[in-house]
Amino acid sequence: MDQTKIYDIAGTAGVSLATVSRVLNHPEKVKKATRDKVLRIIKDKGYKPNANARGLASRHSTTVAVVLPTLTRASIAETIQGIHDSAKKFGYTLRLFVNNEKEDERELWSEVIASSVDGILFMNDEMSKEVYQLIENTPVPVVFVNALSKNKNIGSVSIDNEECSYELTKYLISKGNKKILFVTTESYYAINEQMLQGYKRAVNESGLKEFVIQSSGKIPVNEVQFEKYLKENEKPDVVLGVRDSMTISFMNVAQKLGYKVPDDIQFMGFQNTRYSELSYPKLSCISRPIYEIGNVAMSKLTELIKDENKTGPSKTFLNYSIVWRDSTKNN
């Protein structure tokens, strides 16, 4: 019933533990004959090295921490799937840290460090200064995933949010749309802020007015706000929302009030989550490659982990395109 130990393998193979350990970690250092023999026995017995012991002895655990604000957002779940698939390929296991209560960022971070992971994938976008210091002094590599670090020394993987928002807004303006409403989040996220900047740049260049509202993460709250907005303001030509869930929620409210989509109002998202395929009509989106972003971030992290003479980390921008679906007239 007890798990097989490395001793057992060594015993039945007639070699020392060191050799067994070597076939696992540095197979090239072991003669093929012995290696094969040991490997066969390992397989027979279904031996798996104890992760704690291995981690303790080698100082690397082949596990990485994923720090995120919540799992209930589709974009985050899909990104983690991307992280996972890449992690699996490289032999890493994932440890989850959810930071939903803002108070204990510091506490959480200590936990992350103490868990002796080899690297950290960070999906929370915004942290207090204090925590930024902790991140900076962290003994293992950190990569920001679909998020931005204020700190130049920390790598990140995302799309060029400012640019994509700018381009999209420009394009919509070129199609004759005048009132473009930008819906962002109440809480500050650097990437949302960048999209907002891109939008503003485009609108200002064209001499149009800015229209921006900030919304909660809660659908029922948003609905009230959106309904109020539509009743008290001139209708927008296009609504641009940083989160698909918010955008779709807005679209539904508009339809309930009798507006036709896309004829009266058009809607566009920036995430391209599964939501966008399930809305009615389907949501046109910037096709932010959220799965890919997770995937690439994890590969990047493994490189940083392996790279002894750490080449300074960098911002990686992934390509995006636009998926025209049924919530816009432009397809």
Partner DNA sequence: CTGAAAGCGCTTACAG
**CB 304, min distance to a second copy, A:** 17
Separation between Cα atoms, residue 308 and residue 219, nearest integer Å: 46
> Which option in DNA, a second copy, none does residue 96 bind, with CB closer than 5 to 8 A by kind?
a second copy
SS3 of residue 96 by DSSP: strand
Instruction: Identify which range of 9-17, 75-83, 193-201, 307-315 contacts a second copy by CB under 8 A.
Output: 75-83
N-terminal to C-terminal alpha carbon distance within the chain: 62
Q: Does 67 bind a second copy (CB under 8 A)?
A: no
Return the ∠ at Cα 110 (arms to 105 and 112), rounded to 5°: 95
Q: Does 63 bind a second copy (CB under 8 A)?
A: yes
**CB 197, min distance to a second copy, A:** 27
Q: Does 49 bind a second copy (CB under 8 A)?
A: yes
> Which option in a second copy, DNA, none does residue 252 bind, with CB closer than 5 to 8 A by kind?
a second copy
Taking each continuous run of H as one helix and of E as one strand, the counts in the chain are 13, 12
**CB 244, min distance to a second copy, A:** 8
User: For residue 95, what is the DSSP state?
Assistant: E
> Which option in a second copy, DNA, none does residue 18 bind, with CB closer than 5 to 8 A by kind?
DNA
Evaluate whether 228 touches 196 at the Cβ level (below 8 Å): no
Site for a second copy in 81-100 (CB under 8 A): 81, 84-85, 88, 93-98, 100
**CB 236, min distance to a second copy, A:** 18
Helix (H) or strand (E) holding 43: helix 32-45
Separation between Cα atoms, residue 181 and residue 168, nearest integer Å: 13
> What is the pattern of x (binds a second copy, CB under 8 A) and - over residues 192-231?
---------------------------xx-----------
Sheet holding 211-215, edge to edge: 211-215, 180-185, 238-241, 266-269, 284-286, 322-323
Instruction: Identify which range of 67-75, 158-166, 194-202, 227-235 contacts a second copy by CB under 8 A.
Output: 67-75
**Omega cis (within 30) before 313:** no
Site for a second copy in 104-123 (CB under 8 A): 110-111, 113-116
Per-residue HEC secondary structure of 236-296 comes to CCEEEECCHHHHHHHHHHHHHCCCCCCCCCEEEECCCCCHHHHCCCCCEEECCCHHHHHHH
**CB 7, min distance to DNA, A:** 6
Using CB under 7 A as the criterion, which residues of the chain lie in contact with DNA when the complex forms?
3, 5-7, 14-22, 24-26, 28-31, 33-35, 47, 49-50, 53-54, 56-59
Token pair recorded at residue 237: 């030509």
The residues, ordered by sequence, that sit 6+ positions from 130 with a Cβ below 8 Å of its Cβ are: 105, 106
- Residues at the site binding a second copy, with contacts judged by CB under 8 A: 1-3, 46, 48-53, 55-56, 61, 63, 66, 70-72, 74, 76-78, 80-81, 84-85, 88, 93-98, 100, 110-111, 113-116, 137, 139, 219-220, 245, 248-249, 251-252, 255, 274-275, 277-280, 282
